[in-house]
Amino acid sequence: MADFMGLMKQAAQLQSKMQALQAELDLIEVEGSAGGGMVSVRLTAKGDLKGIKVDDSLLKPSEKEILEDLLVAAHADARRKAEAVMQEKMKGLTGGLPLPPGMGLG
Domains in the chain: ranges and CATH: 25-94 (3.30.1310.10)
* 12-to-16, 85, 95 alpha-carbon distances in Å: 6, 24, 16
Give the residue, 94 or 98, on which the prediction is more confident.
94
Find the Cα–Cα–Cα–Cα dihedral 49, 53, 59, 61, rounded to 10°: -20
| Calpha distance 65→87 (Å, rounded) | 33
* 58 and 18 Cβ atoms separated by less than 8 Å: no
Looking at residue 98, what is its pLDDT?
59
- Over residues 37-70, the pLDDT tens digits come to 999 999 999 889 999 999 999 999 999 999 999 9
Highest mean pLDDT among 2-11, 19-28, 67-76, 89-98: 67-76
Residue 32 host element (H or E): strand 29-34
